[in-house]
Amino acid sequence: MKNKTIFTLFAFICIALASFDAQAQKFSDLDKSPMDAAAFPTDYKDANKLIKVIYSRPQLKGRTLAKLAPNGEVWRTGANEAAAITLYKDMNLGDSTIKAGTYSLATIPGDNEWTIIVNSALNTWGSYFYKEANDVARITVPITKDSKSLEAFSIAFDEGSNGVDMYLGWDTVRVKVPFTN
The pLDDT score that the predictor gives to residue 12 is 62
Alpha carbons 119 and 20: distance in angstroms, whole number: 45
In the structure, how many helices (H) and strands (E) does the chain have?
2, 9
Which residue numbers in the chain have pLDDT < 70?
1-24, 46
What residue segments make up the domains of the chain, in order of their start? 29-180
Measured from the Cβ of residue 115, the count of other Cβ atoms closer than 10 Å reads 16
CA distance readout (Å), 157 to 56, 100, 102, 131, 133: 16, 18, 17, 27, 28
The pLDDT score that the predictor gives to residue 32 is 85
Q: What pTM does this model have? A: 0.82
